[in-house]
Amino acid sequence: MSWDDVSGLEGAKEGLKEAVVLPIKFPQLFDEVRQPWRGILLYGPPGTGKSFLAKACATECEGTFFSISSSDLVSKWMGESERLIKQLFEMARERKPSIIFIDEIDSLCGQRSEGENDSARRIKTEFLVQMQGVGNSMDGVLVLGATNVPWELDQAMRRRFQKRIYISLPDATARAGIMKNRGSKTKNTVTDEEWIELGNASEGYSGSDIAIVVNEALMMPVRRCQTAKRFKPTPDGQGLTPTFPSDPEGQDMTLMTLDPTKLVCPPVTMDDFMSALNRIRPSVCDKDIEDHIQWTSEFGQDG
């Protein structure tokens, strides 16, 4: 997976390249004052491509990549969680340049409150100390966090993410790009103009929603094969493909009675994509987007 596999999100990709690629390939660009980013927070509605960006980052970077979840660090034993966090950062410093990616970081570093569990508070404190504490250098180490609810992050943790990038819903061009990337790998009859039309028709869909729409559209020809009662020979005469009941070239048979080696699946059409769009609705509501825009206006940056 590379940066080119991620449609849109140009601002986020540039920010990650600044922090990951440039310091490794061109160390002469940086000095004591001009330092690369040490903490980047990717936030936005679910399904917009935050973890996908991290995967591309892992492929593109020439250093060590650590992918961490709360289950890797939280232990029932007293003091064990803090030790694991300390070991993680020590290992990252030893193997620098390195990236520590923490998905759903709000589960580990939520806001500290008066009545919270003591072990949860100690985990947050250890994170804060390791990311920017006395005697702990972050040279060559990037902490990359992803969350759907940035307003639940502790304010001290929020400050340690120097760059906070809003990963918004894809625009029409990005939506068309995602559909074409995923859909064009299967035999289809969709033209470039129709991909653009599909991008415009999918307003409000996240990247994940579009992937589901594409999968639904790709299944339509399979369903036609499954329900067909009549099949006709393909132009080369080597296979059989489903056809209309009134087609004079067709032969009466079902999917289960024809020779499996001769079945040829029909191509995906524009109608299949439009039908899939009508069936599948977006998963992100307007309230989610408003909350993220509000938080971006106070603390974030555009992606």
CA angle 12, 190, 238 (to 5 degrees): 130
Asked whether 220 and 297 are in contact (CB, 8 A), the reply is no
CA 26 from centroid of its chain's CA atoms: 28
- Residue 25, C-beta contacts closer than 8 angstroms, at least 6 positions apart: 62
H helices of 80-140, in order, are 80-94, 118-132
Residue with tokens 């995967």: 55
pLDDT on residue 120: 74
Residue 161: both structure tokens together: 């993410």
According to DSSP, the β-strands at 230-233 and 98-103 are: unpaired
pLDDT under 70: residue ranges of the chain: 1, 110-118, 133-136, 301-303
Q: Residue 216 has what pLDDT?
A: 92
- Tell me the CA end-to-end span of the chain in Å, nearest whole number: 20
pLDDT at 117: 62
What are φ and ψ of residue 5, in 5° steps? -75, -15
pLDDT at res. 45: 87
d(CA 164, CA 158): 8
Characterise 237 by phi-psi region: left (phi > 0), alpha (psi -120 to 50), beta (else).
Answer: left
3-state secondary structure of 302: strand
Please give the pLDDT value at position 114: 65
Distance CA 86, CA 224 (A): 56
Sign of CA dihedral 249, 251, 254, 256: negative
State the pLDDT at residue 301.
66
Q: How far apart are CA 156 and CA 165, in angstroms?
A: 17
Domains and CATH numbers, the chain: 3-169+291-302 (3.40.50.300), 172-282 (1.10.8.60)
Each residue of 233-258: pLDDT tens digit? Answer: 888 878 888 888 888 888 888 888 88
Q: Which tokens hold the place of 86?
A: 């300390």
pLDDT of residue 1: 65
Retrieve residue 209's tokens: 């929603």
Q: What separation in angstroms does the CA of 291 have from each of 39, 281, 285, 294, 296?
A: 23, 21, 10, 5, 9
